[in-house]
A and B are shown apart, each in its own frame.
Chain A
Amino acid sequence: MSLSFIFYLVINTLVVLAIAPLFVSIIKKVKAWTQGRRGPSLFQTYFNLAKLVKKETIYSAHSSWIMRITPIVSIAAILVAALFVPLVFVPEPVGGIGNIILLLYLLALAKFFMAVAGLDAGSSFGGMGSSREMSISAIIEPTTIIVFAALAFVFKTLNVFAMFTASVASGTASTPTLILLAISLFIILIVETSRIPVDNPETHLELTMIHEGMILEQSGPNLALMELSSAVKLTLLMALLINLIVPFGLSTTLTLGALVVAIVLFVLKGTILAGIIGLFESSMAKMRFFRLPSLFIMAFFFSTLIIIIEVFI
């Protein structure tokens, strides 16, 4: 393991932790604007996390060790997954870090723990959330894997680092397949981060909530960890999309200047993408749960189309 890789581990983790709450706030802000409200401050998510950390933790008497370790496992899995998607600086991959399949399954690890914890307290809201989350994540899986396979196909590698290096080298990567891929990746991002039309991150209404249902029994610092891990997950999926499609500015050498430029550019690009997500969410209503499979099937055929195009051209 080289020194630059260790630097990468530190830089990537710090950057993703610092930026993630900002993107969540931006999406909220944009949604508020479209509804004619002023919206919370851009730093509100940071304030919320700080507030939660200072609160007491409340456990249900029925809950077990699952409830207690889930927040830690969840944040650990998501932070390791974030290491697989370089935000601002791409080093040489070490020991298979950056493998796109492993990335997917690290996210699944966090999801598994979250779903099990949802059942732990015996509340029916938690069970409802877990059940819906696992169903959705199961039926989106074929689409996700096909998109990832298409990525591997286009870039001729399984490693996210190598994909980013290739896309940086080619400058703007606006080939038709990549644009199609971007659309599919966007759908995956919406589904994986539980946003409208799949889920509504704003409400605690039992009819709509999926992700919020699972973490309903979490409180205090544990809830802060869960919120932070979902923010980091959003950021890492956004980074995957951004650095594949508009990679300019992404640093491949470890110099201070390049890093600062990369961070500033990443925040800018991320802000634009967060705005797009906010507008997208505002433009439609949440779908009925059992209408979702048809949306996913559409996404699936869309992503298969990429493969077919790529194969025959």
Chain B
Amino acid sequence: MLKEALFIIALLVLVAGILFPLATASRNQRIHRTISHGCTVAGSAALALFALLILITGEGLSLTVYQPIAELSLSFSADRLAAFFLLLIALVSACVALYAAEYVEHLEGGSRRNLLCACTNLFILAMALVVVSANTFAFLVFWELMAGCSFLLVMYDYAGPEIRKAGIFYFVMTQLSTLFVMLGIVLLYGQTGSFDFTHTGVSLLSTLAFIALLLGFSIKAGVIPFHKWLPYAHPATPTPLSALMSGVMLKIAVYGLLRFLLDVFSPDLWWGVLILVLGIVSAILGIIYALKEYDIKAMLAYSSIENTGIIFTGIGLYVIFASYGLTALADLSLLGALFHALNHAMFKSLLFLTAGSVVHATHTRDIERMGGLVHRMPYTSALFFVGALAIAALPPLNGFASEILIFISFFSSVAIADPLFKVFLFLCLGLFALTSALSAACFVKAFGSIFLALPRSPESSGAKEVPFLMLLGPGLLAAACILLGLFAAQLFLLAGLTVPIPDMFLVGLLLLAMGVLAYAVLFFTASREVRVTGTWGCGTPSLQPAMEYSGHGFSEPIEIIFSTVYRTEMKNERKFYDAKNCIFAEGTADIRLMKIFEEYLYLPVARFSYQAATLISRFQNGCLDTYLLYVFCAVIAIIVYLGWLA
């Protein structure tokens, strides 16, 4: 009873959060928006409590809201998997709402901000409802609601041409995703004859349904090569919403994939290999592209692609181990994927929020124009640093706790009998390790360029620390990153899982003890004289910002090493006065980063569909006679068809 009550309260509070700012939109007052965000926090808290109850007791909930006909119903059910994702949604939403309550007030747009608040609440509500959908029909309805809301959120600043382009790009991609999900669900209906999440056998139809669903979810999750909307949409969206989209919405796609894999399909080995390869490719390319990015939000977007790749890797391993009958290992990799989904939600929203604070303070997204912010925004920099440590998978933070699970499953793949397959998995392991090392490099660069050394622009040197609420939200997320890492082993025990993960709390204690010891020894033995002076500027009177190592410079070696991946096109045409090419006359040089996926995948597909559409549109010539002819033909066809049947 308590659970139903909590669930309904959570939904109602969120609905109140939608309606209230809409009703008061004409008045444009801060208090209305604050109340709306308060509703988000309260609703999320109720949702989190509800999810925790289910996670701990293990007893689910099922609730039918509306049933127009027998096999079609709008009903909810929550098991532990759903509860886990609900918890993720609730935690991130609450922290983001705290941040947004302050952030939204600094946005431009007058009472349009009320709509933003309403839309945010609707978005959160839609995501929660996708997760608790009891059948594929409800799933699809709320999936589309979520997609629509997120499109509106991307288009908040609709005046800018770049933002409109990003919005349309996002709209097309997200509708494609819905289309494939719908196709998959329809195919499944054809197979089973019901909209429930029921097990189907192995057949061609269910394989096709799987492919369609995988495509749909991959587009939404930002798996390479369907990732291009992320680096467009995230910089365009207001920061709290980027955090929600990257931290939570991508995970909803992961939830969808898992729900169908676990409850509906009986996966084959090659499905697992497909998911694993998609995951590894996304992880490695995602982080390589992130290293090249200088727009802070686009960089975080690429890093989200990497982390989605890591989650997909875990899921792929799960399917592979499950089809080899290695249940324990399969569970371990699944756990790794789930835990990484939760952890990524935490540290990525933390990073997005703090990045948003930085952008708010410096009015630029270009990390080359930042620098020196550690002195000007000390709290924000510390919070970002926690996020960077977590995402670089460093112990004892949470990013490491989930990656080690996937590492352990890779290491244990020895149990598979097929030798060639073992070698394949070990190669994947090598690439997987490369991604985590590259992400460390990426975030050293990000933290160094944004916060350290001298400010590289006047905006950056005039930056101020953000207000309290914009520190509280990220602060809670940072605490979650640390706690989820330190107590990972204990949490698994609490959930009744035996996981071969090292006790990170012990490691944390040892680290602390060693640090204290080193400090104490130095305190009693070493000289305590301290002198503060300028950095040596190679003989120049003072160190100039231009002399620092820039972000471009930092990632240059990696860019050269991976130049084949980046596909940089260099043109260098020179003309000389003499025959021996000594006296330079004129020339042009051009370095261009090829957008491989756009040029070779997106544009051809777009052109093809445009041509097809042109072809079809010929039928629609606007002439009434032609339409009457169509109707006539259709009627004849129906009569013939019915006559045949009879």
Question: B453–A119 contact, CB under 8 A?
Answer: yes
Question: B515–A73 contact, CB under 8 A?
Answer: yes
Within 8 Å by CB of B543, from A55, A62, A65, lies A62
Within 8 Å by CB of A105, from B374, B395, B531, B561, lies B395
Give bound CA distance, A248 to B334, whole Å. Answer: 41
Residues in B neighbouring A13, C-beta threshold 8 A = 514
Question: B400–A105 contact, CB under 8 A?
Answer: yes
Question: B444–A122 contact, CB under 8 A?
Answer: no
Question: B533–A101 contact, CB under 8 A?
Answer: no
The segment from B77-85, B348-356, B435-443 that touches chain A is B435-443
Indicate whether A212 reaches chain B with its CB closer than 8 angstroms: no
Within 8 Å by CB of A62, from B372, B394, B507, B553, lies B372
Hey, what's the 0/1 contact readout for B490-531 against A, CB within 8 Å counting as 1? 000000000011110011001110110011001001110111
Give bound CA distance, A102 to B530, whole Å. Answer: 35
Indicate whether B558 reaches chain A with its CB closer than 8 angstroms: yes
Residues in B neighbouring A80, C-beta threshold 8 A = 507, 510-511, 514
Give bound CA distance, A96 to B488, whole Å. Answer: 13
Indicate whether A218 reaches chain B with its CB closer than 8 angstroms: no
Hey, what's the 0/1 contact readout for A122-166 against B, CB within 8 Å counting as 1? 111011101110110111011111100100110010100000000
Indicate whether B105 reaches chain A with its CB closer than 8 angstroms: no
Indicate whether A41 reaches chain B with its CB closer than 8 angstroms: no
Question: B502–A75 contact, CB under 8 A?
Answer: no
Question: A307–B423 contact, CB under 8 A?
Answer: yes
Give, as a whole number of angstroms, the nearest-CB distance from A127 to chain B: 2
Interface residues of A, CB < 8 Å — how many? 81
Indicate whether A11 reaches chain B with its CB closer than 8 angstroms: no
Residues in B neighbouring A102, C-beta threshold 8 A = 395, 400, 404, 502, 507
Main secondary structure of the interface of A (DSSP, over half): helix
Give bound CA distance, A76 to B315, whole Å. Answer: 35
Within 8 Å by CB of B548, from A79, A122, A132, A152, lies A122
Within 8 A of B (CB), among A162-211: none
Give, as a whole number of angstroms, the nearest-CB distance from B293 to chain A: 16
Indicate whether A281 reaches chain B with its CB closer than 8 angstroms: no
Question: A64–B444 contact, CB under 8 A?
Answer: no
Residues in B neighbouring A141, C-beta threshold 8 A = 433-434, 436-437
Most buried by B among A59, A73, A80, A143: A80
Most buried by B among A76, A132, A143: A76
Indicate whether A54 reaches chain B with its CB closer than 8 angstroms: yes
Residues in B neighbouring A132, C-beta threshold 8 A = 557
Give, as a whole number of angstroms, the nearest-CB distance from B554 to chain A: 4
Hey, what's the 0/1 contact readout for B29-70 against A, CB within 8 Å counting as 1? 000000000000000000000000000000000000000000
Within 8 Å by CB of A142, from B431, B532, B561, lies B431
Question: B433–A142 contact, CB under 8 A?
Answer: yes
Within 8 Å by CB of B529, from A57, A119, A130, A224, lies A57
Within 8 A of B (CB), among A41-83: 53-66, 72-73, 75-77, 79-80, 83
Interchain Cβ contacts within 8 Å, total number: 254
Give, as a whole number of angstroms, the nearest-CB distance from B368 to chain A: 13
Question: A56–B503 contact, CB under 8 A?
Answer: no
Indicate whether B597 reaches chain A with its CB closer than 8 angstroms: no
Residues in B neighbouring A58, C-beta threshold 8 A = 530-533
Residues in A neighbouring B543, C-beta threshold 8 A = 62, 122-123
Question: A61–B533 contact, CB under 8 A?
Answer: yes
Indicate whether B427 reaches chain A with its CB closer than 8 angstroms: yes
The segment from B123-131, B200-208, B407-415, B580-588 that touches chain A is B407-415
Give, as a whole number of angstroms, the nearest-CB distance from A60 to chain B: 4
> Which chain A residue has the least Cβ–Cβ distance from B529?
A56
Indicate whether A256 reaches chain B with its CB closer than 8 angstroms: no
Residues in A neighbouring B423, C-beta threshold 8 A = 304, 307-308, 311
Indicate whether A3 reaches chain B with its CB closer than 8 angstroms: no
Within 8 Å by CB of B411, from A63, A97, A124, A158, lies A158
Question: A96–B561 contact, CB under 8 A?
Answer: no
Hey, what's the 0/1 contact readout for A283-303 against B, CB within 8 Å counting as 1? 000000110010000001000
Hey, what's the 0/1 contact readout for B417-432 against A, CB within 8 Å counting as 1? 0010011001101111
Give bound CA distance, A199 to B21, whole Å. Answer: 61
Indicate whether B447 reaches chain A with its CB closer than 8 angstroms: yes
Question: A109–B394 contact, CB under 8 A?
Answer: yes
Indicate whether A238 reaches chain B with its CB closer than 8 angstroms: no
Give bound CA distance, A141 to B432, whole Å. Answer: 9
Question: A142–B395 contact, CB under 8 A?
Answer: no
Question: A72–B519 contact, CB under 8 A?
Answer: yes
Give, as a whole number of angstroms, the nearest-CB distance from A65 to chain B: 8
Give bound CA distance, A95 to B423, whole Å. Answer: 30
Indicate whether B536 reaches chain A with its CB closer than 8 angstroms: yes
Residues in A neighbouring B614, C-beta threshold 8 A = none
Question: A124–B549 contact, CB under 8 A?
Answer: yes
Within 8 Å by CB of A95, from B431, B502, B514, lies B502
Question: B429–A149 contact, CB under 8 A?
Answer: yes
> Which chain A residue has the least Cβ–Cβ distance from B515?
A76
Give, as a whole number of angstroms, the nearest-CB distance from A217 to chain B: 7
Within 8 A of B (CB), among A238-273: none
Residues in B neighbouring A66, C-beta threshold 8 A = 374, 385, 452
Question: A95–B558 contact, CB under 8 A?
Answer: no
Question: B448–A127 contact, CB under 8 A?
Answer: yes
Residues in A neighbouring B545, C-beta threshold 8 A = 122
Give, as a whole number of angstroms, the nearest-CB distance from B292 to chain A: 13
Within 8 Å by CB of A122, from B427, B453, B510, B515, lies B453
Question: B534–A60 contact, CB under 8 A?
Answer: yes
Question: B558–A135 contact, CB under 8 A?
Answer: yes
Hey, what's the 0/1 contact readout for B539-562 against A, CB within 8 Å counting as 1? 000010101110001111110110
Question: B526–A130 contact, CB under 8 A?
Answer: no
Give bound CA distance, A57 to B527, whole Å. Answer: 8
> Which chain B residue has the least Cβ–Cβ distance from A71?
B518
Question: B419–A311 contact, CB under 8 A?
Answer: yes
Give bound CA distance, A96 to B526, whole Å. Answer: 34
> Which chain A residue has the least Cβ–Cβ distance from B395?
A105
Question: A138–B440 contact, CB under 8 A?
Answer: yes
Residues in A neighbouring B529, C-beta threshold 8 A = 56-57, 220
Residues in A neighbouring B408, C-beta threshold 8 A = 101, 158
> Which chain B residue has the least Cβ–Cβ distance from A100?
B411
Residues in A neighbouring B285, C-beta threshold 8 A = none
Within 8 Å by CB of A131, from B404, B431, B556, lies B556
Residues in B neighbouring A224, C-beta threshold 8 A = 526
Indicate whether B392 reaches chain A with its CB closer than 8 angstroms: yes
Indicate whether A86 reaches chain B with its CB closer than 8 angstroms: no
Indicate whether A85 reaches chain B with its CB closer than 8 angstroms: no
A-B contact pairs, 30 of them (CB 8 A): A60-B532, A61-B534, A61-B535, A64-B375, A75-B518, A76-B511, A76-B518, A77-B511, A96-B502, A97-B502, A101-B411, A112-B444, A119-B554, A120-B453, A122-B545, A130-B554, A131-B553, A132-B557, A134-B554, A138-B441, A141-B434, A142-B431, A142-B433, A144-B433, A149-B429, A153-B414, A220-B526, A290-B561, A300-B430, A307-B422
Closest 8 CB pairs of A and B: A127-B549, A96-B502, A122-B453, A119-B448, A95-B503, A56-B529, A142-B430, A145-B433
Given contacts A126-B549, A307-B422, 7 further A-B contacts (CB under 8 A): A56-B527, A59-B530, A59-B531, A109-B395, A120-B453, A122-B543, A312-B419
B residues with a Cβ closer than 8 A to A are: 372, 374-375, 381, 385, 389, 392-395, 400, 404, 407-408, 410-411, 414, 419, 422-423, 426-427, 429-434, 436-438, 440-441, 444-445, 447-449, 451-454, 489, 500-503, 506-507, 510-512, 514-515, 518-519, 522, 525-527, 529-536, 538, 543, 545, 547-549, 553-558, 560-561
